Amino acid sequence: MLPGAAGNAIHSAGLVVALSLAVFTAPLGIWVVYSRQIVSAGGLSAFVQAAAGRRAAVAHGWVWAIAYFLYLPSTVTYIVYELLPPVFPGISAYRVSLELVLPIAIVAVVLAPVRWVLVGLGALAVAQVATMLVLAGYEFSRTSAPFASQPGVDEVGRATAGTALLFICSSLPLYLAAEVRGEGRTVRRGLIAAVAIVGAAFLVAAIPLPGVPAGLRNAAVPGAAIARAYAGRGLAVTVGLLTACSALALIVAEYLALGRLLHWLHGAPVRSLLRWIALPFVAADAISLVEPERFYDDLLKPSLVALFTSQLMVFLAFPRYQRGPLPIVAAVAASALAIWGLYTV
């Protein structure tokens, strides 16, 4: 996703990622401060409630729920029609079946014991980070690129904001906060460690990217294309599978968070809510078969608008929760990032 987010500043990819991590400290810091006292299945909505009251929290919760519900079925379509065929051309003949089977498989996963699901997601995350670093090693051995190549301020600024927005879904673990041992302390440490570790790996992978030919960077699945060119079919398949699995893992995380949020909002049992969400989720992917090429794009825009709006609500409410000049600065910086997201949509 970095080539798309960096745009014309791709030749300064290392600088862009470093700056984006610095920019992202504003939203991350706000979540961490909220989490000192608030650990709840309501996640971000519980933060809004603490700052602005129950009505604002319910409004926020439904905006957030719309954002992620739209993302669930559209991402399945994206995986089936955009991510898998470039790496596995023979899979095109089975796309209709996959479009119907994957949502059912995802429902089965989210209904499994949460501990098992989280262990699986953790193992997948470790594999992703390790593979990212392996691929970066091949790029370093085959290319040579400066950390920053005469960057334009405007281009780097746009790229920095766009890249920082890639980290926005790191708020998803907040919706599991009530079930975590150690509660707020564990949540805060986990958030900071996750962003730091993944951010560092992302930075290492970004530095050699400008030296990679544009044809590989701009491929449908850039990581798989680069892996095939520099290391062969084996690594390309691994990267392609992990890319698809990462998108599937995000769907699972969002699905779990959605069930817990609705439980927090309205009190219904989590497992019952997960089953009810399955009905429109599976139905939507069946409907997508009418025109799958448009389905992802048509749902992505309203999903992102709702996502950035929900984050903006959290950031704007923060100075009411934490008084002082520093919280105001953090709220302004984080709100500007969310507004940039809305503008780009």
Intra-chain end-to-end CA distance of the chain, in Å: 16
267-322 pLDDT per residue, tens: 999 999 999 999 999 999 999 999 988 898 899 999 999 999 999 999 999 999 99
Distance between CA atoms of residues 291 and 167, nearest Å? 30
Indicate the pLDDT class of residue 25, thresholds 50, 70 and 90: very high
Exposure string of 22-45, with b = 16+ CB inside 10 Å and e = fewer, is ebbbbbbbbbbbbbeebbbbbbbb
Length of the chain: 345
Q: Of the candidates 190, 178, 172, 180, which has an alpha carbon nearest to the alpha carbon of residue 68?
A: 172
Exposure string of 211-247, with b = 16+ CB inside 10 Å and e = fewer, is bbeeebbebebbbbbbbbbbbeeebbebbbbbbbbbe
Alpha helices in 207-324 (DSSP H): 214-217, 222-231, 233-266, 270-288, 292-321
Distance between CA atoms of residues 255 and 245, nearest Å? 15
Range with the lowest mean pLDDT among 24-28, 59-63, 155-159? 155-159
Alpha helices in the chain (DSSP H): 2-6, 13-34, 44-52, 54-78, 84-87, 95-110, 114-142, 153-164, 183-206, 214-217, 222-231, 233-266, 270-288, 292-321, 325-344
Range with the lowest mean pLDDT among 127-136, 148-157, 167-176, 289-298? 148-157
Domain edges within the chain: 2-344
Q: Which two tokens stand for residue 256?
A: 């779990």
**Residue 98, phi then psi, degrees to nearest 5:** -65, -40
The dihedral built from the CA positions of residue 130, 132, 135 and 136, taken in this order, carries a sign that is negative
Percent pLDDT > 70 in the chain is 97
100-143 pLDDT per residue, tens: 999 999 999 999 998 899 999 999 999 999 999 999 999 998 88
| Average pLDDT value for the chain | 91
Q: How far is CA 58 from its chain centroid?
A: 23
Most confident listed range (54-63, 84-93, 287-296): 54-63
Q: Which two tokens stand for residue 96?
A: 């209709």
Q: Kindly write down the DSSP assignment for every residue of 229-260, as one continuous string.
A: HHH-HHHHHHHHHHHHHHHHHHHHHHHHHHHH
What's the mean pLDDT in 158-187?
87
Number of other residues whose CB lies within 10 A of the CB of residue 175? 27
Distance between CA atoms of residues 69 and 36, nearest Å? 28
**Residue 151, phi then psi, degrees to nearest 5:** -70, 140
Return all residues near 86 (Cβ < 8 A) that are at least 6 apart. Answer: 219, 220, 221, 224, 225, 240
Structural contact between residues 216 and 225, judged by C-beta atoms closer than 8 angstroms: yes
Angle 44-52/13-34 helices, nearest 10 degrees? 60
pLDDT at 325: 94
CATH topology classification for 2-344: Amino acid/polyamine transporter I (1.20.1740)
**Residue where the block lists tokens 């995380």:** 253
Indicate the pLDDT class of residue 5, thresholds 50, 70 and 90: low
pLDDT at 149: 66
